[in-house]
């Protein structure tokens, strides 16, 4: 992974990120453009395949979905476009606060308190731990997730 060393975003220089930690990681490791902007469908597909070993059809559906649901342009998307609340992004994140009532854009910054509670004692994080946190987050939602968001959350 030498060509994909970690490099944090330079937000003060105009880099953008999304509410999705997985896509942010792809940009931070330069599988996606490091600035998080003008990501074409082919670029997103290659990044998802190389970074996460996704199949071409799944990577295509995810990239196309980002364009259609969030950016409204087929030429591509910026990571910040994915902040559009309830398009792809949804409440109930394991790492971020829910979108405030009346806001159209989701928060990008991780919720430090939520992450600390998720990580608990610092021991290994198990599937059971994640399932317990997922159940607690679902129970705490003030508005239930849509059927689509419930499946992908």
User: For 120-144, what is each residue's pLDDT tens digit?
Assistant: 666 777 888 788 888 888 888 888 7
Rounded to whole angstroms, the Cα distance separating 13 from 36 reads 12
Are the CB atoms for 94 and 137 separated by under 8 Å?
yes
Are the CB atoms for 79 and 67 separated by under 8 Å?
no
Distances (CA, A) of 57 to 45, 46, 61, 98: 9, 12, 6, 30
User: For 51-61, what is each residue's pLDDT tens digit?
Assistant: 999 999 999 99
Percentage, residues of the chain above pLDDT 90: 50
Rounded to whole angstroms, the Cα distance separating 82 from 67 reads 9
pLDDT bracket for residue 94 (50, 70, 90): confident
The two structure tokens encoding residue 94:
């394991």
Residue with tokens 């290994």: 124
């Amino acid at each position: 992974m030498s060509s994909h060393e970690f490099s944090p975003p330079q937000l003060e220089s105009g880099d953008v990120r999304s509410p999705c930690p997985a896509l942010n990681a792809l940009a931070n490791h330069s599988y996606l453009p490091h600035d998080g902007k003008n990501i074409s469908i082919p670029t997103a597909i290659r990044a998802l395949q190389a970074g996460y070993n996704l199949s071409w059809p799944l990577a295509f559906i995810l990239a196309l979905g980002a364009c259609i649901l969030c950016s409204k342009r087929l030429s591509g998307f910026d990571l910040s476009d994915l902040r559009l609340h309830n398009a792809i992004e949804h409440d109930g994140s394991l790492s971020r606060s829910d979108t405030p009532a009346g806001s159209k854009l989701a928060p990008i910054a991780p919720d430090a308190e939520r992450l600390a509670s998720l990580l608990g004692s610092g021991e290994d994080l198990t599937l059971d731990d994640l399932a317990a946190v997922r159940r607690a987050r679902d129970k705490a939602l003030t508005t239930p997730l849509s059927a689509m968001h419930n499946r992908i959350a």
